[in-house]
Amino acid sequence: MSPTPRGTRAALSDDDDDNNKPDDKDWEFTLVLEGHDSEIKSCTFSPSGSYLATCSRDKSVWIWEDIGASEADDEWETIAVLNEHEGDVKAVAWCPDVPGRNARRRYGADVLASASYDNTVRIWREDGDAEWVCVAVLEGHEGTVWGLRVGGPARAGERFPRLMTFSADGTIRVWTLTEDDTDADEDGPGSKSSLGGIPNTMRRSLREEWACTATLPKAHTRDIYSVAWSGESGLVASTGSDGTVALYREEDKKAAEAEDQPMANTDDVASGNQPQESSKWNLLTTHANAHGPYEVNHITWCKRYDAGSERRGEEEMLVTTGDDGLVRPWQVDVST
């Protein structure tokens, strides 16, 4: 498997008004949200679109709620300012609303994760008093956590959700919410609910336990700035300060067990994050100098619709951006 560049440069240009179609919708500025004291590093809408999370160098995470009476009424208010991180907050991500994965109410879509310069990830959720609280602190990285991804493809028998984090320590880690296998589906008295497997009669504490279940094979020599986790193929792509693009694939558990192979990288034991539901990831390939001598800042998966695609709208490609000011699309060839 290897990534190959589909092009070396991409540009966006404005069309003349005369070329616009009659049914084209114009974008217009509607609202400014103010509150942070320093640079805003990341922002993202919740799956429902009713919340917006922002994070900043001021060490805070803000949550905003859409209180507009209609789609045309664009009005937002601050409902939470979260100040528990001890360093700049680099990224925020909501738990996705994946059909069929939240059916047992183990985890809701309006749950937020944040990554910070303090080397930690924090999980936030709304409690019974409508207050947003930190329910878990994920520790193990030895450098700034530059970002995180929630999800990956839904697979039979797989715990949901899983969280992937990437760091200045050159590692990518996978975290899984620890749950009691006897969790019930019902929310009756004494039953266990979506609040991290906590009985309804004991909801004073929403504390959750997350375990690091894998550390992906080492592929980078410096900071990892961006990771893309495909919801279609499950492939993971990473890139960063060393200019390398790396591709990984999670090994099928049954196949690994049949070969009697260890199911995880277990260097987490020393950090107190010993894997409980271990998984194994394989490094498929690396591509050095993806943007020449420059750092690569971002990587993402997207669908291909170009003429060279054999399955337009289905086949995936990678897109990277670098300090050279270029956007590079990449074709990914998978050979079995």
Give CA–CA dist 119/88, Å, rounded.
Answer: 10
Residues making up the chain, counted from first to last: 336
Residue 268 reports pLDDT greater than 60: no
The per-residue pLDDT for 12 is 32
Give CA–CA dist 132/259, Å, rounded.
Answer: 45
CB 207, CB 136: distance < 8 Å: yes
Number of domains within the chain = 1
Place of tokens 């300060």: 241
Q: Give a yes or no: residue 27 inside a domain.
A: no
Alpha carbon distances (Å) from 261 to 138, 145, 281: 27, 30, 12
Lowest mean pLDDT among 29-38, 250-259, 274-283, 299-308: 250-259
Task: Return the structure tokens found at 311.
Answer: 């399955």
Alpha carbon 245 to its chain's center: 18
Task: Return the structure tokens found at 70.
Answer: 């209609």
Q: Give a yes or no: residue 45 inside a domain.
A: no
The CATH number linked to 149 is: 2.130.10.10
- Model pLDDT for residues 62-101, shown as the tens digit of each residue: 999 998 877 767 889 999 999 999 999 999 999 887 655 5
Sign of the alpha-carbon torsion through 33, 37, 39, 43: negative
| Residue 221: half-sphere exposure toward Cβ, Cα within 13 Å | 7
Residue 202 reports pLDDT greater than 60: no
The mean pLDDT of 214-221, rounded to a whole number, is 96
CB 88, CB 116: distance < 8 Å: yes
Alpha carbon distances (Å) from 147 to 228, 298, 326: 10, 11, 22
The per-residue pLDDT for 151 is 77
Q: Give a yes or no: residue 22 inside a domain.
A: no
The mean pLDDT of 128-142, rounded to a whole number, is 93
Q: Which has the closest alpha carbon to 266: 258, 277, 256, 257?
A: 277
Instruction: Give the structural domain span for 142.
Output: 2-6+53-333
CB 120, CB 110: distance < 8 Å: no
13-24 CB burial, b ≥16 within 10 A, e <16: eeeeeeeeeeee
What is the C-alpha R_g of the chain? 21
Give CA–CA dist 190/196, Å, rounded.
Answer: 14
Q: Give a yes or no: residue 39 inside a domain.
A: no
Q: Give a yes or no: residue 119 inside a domain.
A: yes
CB 102, CB 129: distance < 8 Å: no
Q: Give a yes or no: residue 231 inside a domain.
A: yes
- Long-range CB contacts (within 8 A, 24+) of 8-11: 8/326, 8/328, 9/326, 9/327, 10/326, 10/327, 10/328, 10/329
CB 227, CB 237: distance < 8 Å: yes
The per-residue pLDDT for 270 is 37
Task: Return the structure tokens found at 218.
Answer: 């080492």
Give CA–CA dist 56/150, Å, rounded.
Answer: 20
- The reply to whether the predicted model has a pTM over 0.85 is no
